[in-house]
Amino acid sequence: GEDVEQSLFLSVREGDSSVINCTYTDSSSTYLYWYKQEPGAGLQLLTYIFSNMDMKQDQRLTVLLNKKDKHLSLRIADTQTGDSAIYFCAEKRDTGRRALTFGSGTRLQVQP
């Protein structure tokens, strides 16, 4: 997990936007993913972005990729209490090894 870093905790108020950040070190990353994990549950794939893209939007979710700085962010618009969870970013590297390298996860707490 040291190659993919995330802040551990983020607290926002309901209705605000949340921005979860992630940095990675391997320039050969081809895909970058965001997963959501609710307490006691498995991982839900939220979205992913190809490394040749700068931005991807999907309803309330916006992913921004700065390949030069190796920085990935996930913006959640109009954050709801149901968005409270741990969010993991993950990268897939262009090495033939198709498994993912995960960050440590960011716990998002949404306050009513």
Partner 1 sequence: SAVISQKPSRDICQRGTSLTIQCQVDSQVTMMFWYRQQPGQSLTLIATANQGSEATYESGFVIDKFPISRPNLTFSTLTVSNMSPEDSSIYLCSVEILGEQYFGPGTRLTVT
Q: Does residue 100 bind partner 1 (CB under 8 A)? A: yes
Instruction: List, in sequence order, every beta strand (DSSP E) within 1-112.
Output: 4-6, 9-13, 18-24, 29-37, 43-50, 55-58, 61-66, 71-76, 85-93, 100-102, 106-111
Residues 48-77 that bind partner 1 (CB under 8 A): 48
Q: Stretches 13-21, 43-51, 54-62, 64-72: which one binds partner 1 (CB under 8 A)?
A: 43-51
- 21 or 104: whose CB is closer to partner 1? 104
Q: Pairing between strand 4-6 and 18-24?
A: antiparallel
- Residues in contact with 93: Cβ distance below 8 Å, sequence separation at least 6, in sequence order: 26, 28, 29, 30, 101
In the list 24, 34, 87, 88, the residue contacting partner 1 (rule: CB under 8 A) is 88
- 68 or 97: whose CB is closer to partner 1? 97
- 43 or 64: whose CB is closer to partner 1? 43
- Residues in contact with 59: Cβ distance below 8 Å, sequence separation at least 6, in sequence order: none
- 96 or 112: whose CB is closer to partner 1? 96
In the list 7, 21, 51, 104, the residue contacting partner 1 (rule: CB under 8 A) is 104
